[in-house]
Structures are given as structure tokens and as C-alpha cells.
Amino acid sequence: MTEKKKEIPFLCLRMKELREEYKCSLDDMVKKIQNYEGTLLKKSSLSRVENGKTGEKTLKEYAIRYCKAFCMSDKQIEQFLRGEKTVVVDTSAILKNIQLIDELNEEYDKVIIPKVVVNELNRIKDSKSSLCKKAWEVLRGISYGDKIVSMEYTGTNKNIKNDEKIIFIANEASKKYHTKVDIITDDIDYSVYLKNNENISALHLGEYIATKQPIRDTGRLDNIKDFFADTYDSLEKIGKDEVNAYMSDGNTLIISTVRATSKPMNQRKEKIRWLISLGGDVNKRDNARRYFPPLSHAIQVKDYEMFGFLLVECRANPNVGSKNPYGGEKLRQKNEGNMPLMIASWHGMTEFVKLLCKDERTSLNQQDANGFSALMKACMNGYFRGDKDISKVLIDSGADTKIVDMNGKSYIDWMNEYRKNGPMLKDYGKSKRYNANRQSMYFNK
């Protein structure tokens, strides 16, 4: 099958998906294009195009009209029009957003992970760098298969930079799969190497994230992310789509504000109030690491005041857990369903647990994908005695002591497991191999 024959149904599908994403019927779409262009248009014309009953030239013309009617930028239109393509990831992008491979796997026909990138991730993982944990999580999350494949650099010059090796691999992938190739990067150097290369293009991570959402770019969001003040009246108001959009690191503006612990608390609170007033979703999960909502991020950064602000004043839902949007094959690995109460119990954060238990909305007995409840998670790490007896707080608040996990283990069994082998939560960097082996006994059965 030639590329042209494949491109027509691809664009037809993309046009229909775009229209439906914005909840537009064909009649609505006719009105939208007419309002944008100031010209008359027949519904039957759109129907013919979406059903592949026109030529390639006409199809592309209408696809562009669809895009412009939704105010898409030139870069977004270019992305929209592409046919089947392959993507190559570089180290900078994947470390900025460690769930990037999952998202690329949904969109591209082939996701190439260069061996030089894997080698670099391994080097970072074994270093004392602040990125070592991120690198470890990326490597752990890669699932090679028909779509996600590894490619080695086979060129003769072994002394060139990794960027040049990745470009060589992208060219080889283009020849092998007979497609154009994007290199997703958070680096600007690639554009210098790729001048006049029709088959390979560099796509900056921020631009890619923008094409996945109804926003023009993430640049303005980055400016808002970095701005903190006592009042936000001077800032230009942004729409609901932008308020809730993901930035290049996979966080929303609200989550980024929660994590900005170096900024004054009053400015962070006022910023979140401002974002909520513009339609910000205080429960929207990140798309960066564990798919956590803002409440869980407040626990992660150990910010009790921010946590209380989100829960009490902002009325954040205490029962929003982590949720992988890319399918069930990584369910256990990503520990899906991990709720704020479970996270606080796991880390022994007694005051967070008490505040959650006081909130009548909190589900005390919810279980994650492994069947673990908050009570079990507290016991796994020894928080059932002394001044950090979280098990008592949970049981006194009504936690069910009869619940068992996927392997039939109760909270008492997990107490005994702790007494025998110590806490499940180990300081990262100490006995990583032991932790991986031990967790696999319970998490991956």
C-alpha cells in the first residue's frame, strides 16, 4: 500500500476525531467554518470528505479548514496533517516527562528508543545525580514490543556526539519503516543538524505537548508558572483549556504551584485561588510521573499547610487516586488507584492522615490495584506503634480490619512481614536491587 493511499483514511479519521473532540456535529462544523471564513458551505461536502469520497488535494484543503476553524497554530496544523510516522526519543525529553513513552505509543506507529539513550539513562541512574530516580523510573517503565523498539547506532564514527548518533538512528528508522521521523527533544541543538533534511524533524517537547491539547503553545503557561505575587490581577486572564493544560513537564499550573515550596505560602495560595476562579480543576492529575492529583503532590512535598488549604478551602476530592490513562498493561507497575490517604499512611505522615480521617468524604477502605488499603500500607512500613501509630488512627476512624489484598494478606500479615523483613519503603539508593526483588514478590504476582 502506498503512502498516499494510507494518508486519505488517516486524515478522514483525524478530522472526525477533531470534530468530535470539540463535541461538534456536522451541522455545528459547517457553522464553525462559515463563521471563521465568512463563506457558505454544505453539510454534504463535509460528509463526503470525512468518508473519504474526495481526492487527496481536496481532503487536505478541508483538513486545513477544520484546523483553522479551531484556531490551531501552523505547527499544530503541520502535526495534524502528518501521515503514519515514527518517533525517536532523546534523553532530555524523557527525563523532563517520564511518562512520555506511554503517550507517544498512543500516537505513533513506531517509538524508537536509541541504545545510546538507554546507556545514558543507566549512567544517570547509577550516579548521585538528582535525576537518578527519574532515570530509574524511566528504565523500569519501558516495555519493548511491536511498537516500542530499541535501535543501536551502527555508524562507523564512534566519536560523534550522542545527538548526532540519535539523528543517524532516526535516518535508519526512516529507511527501515518507510516513514518520516520526529525526534522528540527538550534540547534546541537538533535543528542545527537537521537543516534540509526532509525525512527527519526535531519536535520540541513543549510544542508536542501543545499539539495534544486545545492550546496554541505552552510558552505563556511557563511564564505564569514562574510568576508569583501577592495579587494576580495584573496577569492576563487565560481560558479554561489553558488553566488545565499540561506543560512540558506534564504538570498543570495548579500542581506546579503546589510543588513550588520555595515561594511564599500566601502567594501560592492566592495563585491557586486565581487559577480556580478561571476554571482550574483542583483534582486534575499530572501527566508526568504517577498521575497524581494536587492533594497527593502536597503530600509528596510534605507541605501540610498547602494540603489543608487544598482539602478544606478548595474542597479537593480526597478520593481521587492515581490513574494511568494509557491502558491496563502497566496497572500494577504504576500502582493505580493510590489515593492521598494511602500515600500519607505509607510515608507515616500522621497529621495528614488525621486530617483526611476527619473529612467525612474520605473513603477509609478504598484499595489500590494491588488490593492494598491505607491500613495495610501503614503496617508495611511499621506505622502501627509509638507516636506514629497510624494503624490506630485509621481503625479508630472506622477502617475495616477484615480486608485482604490480592494475595489474601491482611493488615496483621503485613505487620508480621514488617517485623520479619523491615519496612517496604527503603531509602532510595540503598539496596535498590533488594527493594525491586522484594516488591516483585507482592506487586507483580
Mean pLDDT along residues 271-300: 94
Question: What does the pLDDT average to over 162-167?
Answer: 92
For 30-53, what is each residue's pLDDT tens digit? 999 999 999 899 999 999 999 989
Of 217 and 184, the one with more pLDDT: 184
Residue 329, pLDDT above cutoff 50: no
Summarize the confidence of residues 414-442 as an average pLDDT: 64
CA distances from 37 to 31, 168, 356, 372, 389 (A): 10, 43, 53, 56, 66
Q: How far apart are CA 412 and CA 442, in angstroms?
A: 15
- DSSP code at position 309: I
Percent of the chain with pLDDT over 90: 57
* Domain 85-211 -> CATH class: alpha beta
Burial string for 3-23 (b: 16+ CB within 10 Å, else e) reads eeeebbebbbebbbebbeeee
Cα–Cα distance between 373 and 354 in angstroms, integer?
A: 16
Residue 328 pLDDT level (bands cut at 50, 70, 90): very low
Q: What is the model's pLDDT at position 444?
A: 38
pLDDT of residue 434: 44
pTM of this prediction exceeds 0.85: no
Instruction: Please identify which residue in the block is written with the cell numbers 478548595.
Output: 314
**The pLDDT of residue 148:** 92
The answer to whether residue 308 scores a pLDDT higher than 50 is yes
What pLDDT, on the 0 to 100 scale, is given for residue 94?
92
Strand partners for 180: 85
Classified as helix, coil or strand, 19 is helix
CATH number of 332-445: 1.25.40.20
Domains 85-211 and 213-317 share a fold: no
Mean pLDDT of the chain: 87
Q: Are 214 and 208 in contact (CB under 8 A)?
A: no
Q: Which of 183-187, 273-277, 437-441 has the highest mean pLDDT?
A: 273-277
Q: Average pLDDT of 183-188? A: 86
**pLDDT number for residue 263:** 98
Whether residue 344 has pLDDT greater than 50 = yes
Instruction: Name which residue leads in pLDDT, 75 or 304.
Output: 304
Q: Find the Cα–Cα–Cα–Cα dihedral 270, 272, 273, 274, rounded to 10°.
A: 90
CATH assignment, 213-317:
1.25.40.20
| Average pLDDT of the residues in 149-156 | 95
Given the C-alpha cell 513513552, which residue does it identify? 101
pLDDT tops 70 at residue 432: no
Is 334's pLDDT higher than 70?
Answer: no
Specify the pLDDT at position 14: 79
- What does the pLDDT read at residue 187? 82
Residue 441 has pLDDT above 80, yes or no: no
**How far is the C-alpha of 209 from the C-alpha of 286, rounded, in Å?**
13
Q: Where are the domains of the chain?
A: 3-81, 85-211, 213-317, 332-445
User: Per residue in 259-286, is it b (16+ CB within 10 Å) or e — as a string?
Assistant: bbeeeeeebbbbbbebbbebebbbbbbb
Q: Is the pLDDT of residue 430 over 60?
A: no
- Quote the CA–CA distance of 304 and 327 in Å, as a whole number: 33
Residues forming beta bridges with residue 114, ordered by sequence position: 151
* Phi, psi (rounded to 5 degrees) for 204: -65, 145
Condensed to tens digits (0 to 9), the pLDDT of residues 110-139 reads 999 999 999 999 999 999 888 898 899 889
Tell me which fold the domain 3-81 belongs to: 434 Repressor (Amino-terminal Domain) (1.10.260)
Distance between first and last Cα of the chain: 43
